[in-house]
A and B are shown apart, each in its own frame.
Chain A
């Protein structure tokens, strides 16, 4: 099996995005604004790489996020792999060369991540009104910011592929 260097590139950029977002969240803690921006991490590995490389990249990204955030370990790994496998399975339907489809996928996965966190970490708080106020702020702020961040992140990934002279076309599409 041929090793795909884009695996390292995508994983590194995912780790960078997570680091930056957590830094921003830390700085904005007194404003009670919290951004969840996990959606864009899954999209390009699933759209661009072969299955083995996508699987390893998404597994590492999921565990990296699981270790960095105070959610139960395995939540994001499982979520990313489920969402990524879905994208991979139907990736012939998505256009990776423009940002429109990847952005919609990123928003969908991000919303799923926020719902998953709520069910695992906030289940006992569901009846508390102040929880829903902050949940609403987080959801709206995250998706508004994602409108800017997701295209920027996808362009950064494309730029890095170009800079490092890596394969810029999606691989192993079904032939029939």
Chain B
């Protein structure tokens, strides 16, 4: 009878033992391992992000003085315009507060805006996430809303010491309550897989039957305070068409999102000034 060399099976035995031990490990131990490895590699990502900033700085240094003076003038004009808007905003805020106190309305949720650089974008068929350069060091909470100049970006899903993960609005796991601008009835926005061509898209469900839209004057979908995470009125996207949903009672359609969503460099995290209920916004 031929001799069987047992030592040749040692790798297979080791693999079997590993699989049994690893899958039997308590969840907290795996979570600890994951966080440890993430924190260990975070400095490399943050350093590369600072190097990108440095690269931007040096590329701007190469601009001529005439270009810089021109840019400075443009910024000066914009600042003067925004100062006027700020004054008007303060007047309107004061008026709203006065009316709220007269009507004894409950207080609104207030937010602190934390501007963050985007360290990395992970946008694929399977996941749509970005990593930002602020974490527990800036008291970023899990579940906080993330926005940019074009509207809603997503929601913070994980916070590490110096970085945070944001689930993008295009992610199929992302779902929020929304309203159409000028209509108070709530609808549901949900992310969907991207084809990779054209603008990023999402989908809207439970739109009332009487709403009409077309590609010339698409309906604007905005956030609502119903969920608690997002302040009202932040742009989600535009809906160029609606069709009867599967139930026949409501309509559903595709939401065209901002083109810049997949090339973000800077976003704002809205940190609630009062405590946040992390699961509150999920429908």
What is the interface of chain A, defined by CB distance below 8 A to chain B? 15, 19, 22-23, 25-26, 29-30, 32-34, 51, 55, 59, 63-64, 66-71, 73-74, 77-78, 81-82, 85, 88-89, 117-118, 121-122, 124-125, 128-131, 133-135, 137-138, 174, 176
Contact = CB atoms under 8 A, between A and B. Distances in A.
27 contacts: A25-B122, A29-B263, A30-B262, A32-B197, A34-B123, A51-B10, A55-B11, A63-B37, A67-B37, A67-B41, A70-B122, A70-B126, A70-B129, A71-B126, A71-B127, A85-B11, A88-B11, A117-B126, A118-B125, A122-B125, A125-B125, A125-B126, A131-B125, A133-B195, A134-B195, A138-B125, A174-B8
A93 to B, nearest CB: 14
Given A66-B34, A130-B195, A121 B122 contact: no
Nearest to B31: A73
Question: Considering the complex of A and B, which 6 residue pairs feature the smallest CB-CB distances, nearest first?
Answer: A32-B196, A67-B37, A134-B125, A130-B195, A34-B124, A30-B263
B66 interface: no
B193 to A, nearest CB: 4
Contacts of A51: 10-11, 14
Contacts, number: 121
A121 to B, nearest CB: 4
B56 to A, nearest CB: 14
Contacts of A122: 125-126, 193
A120 to B, nearest CB: 8
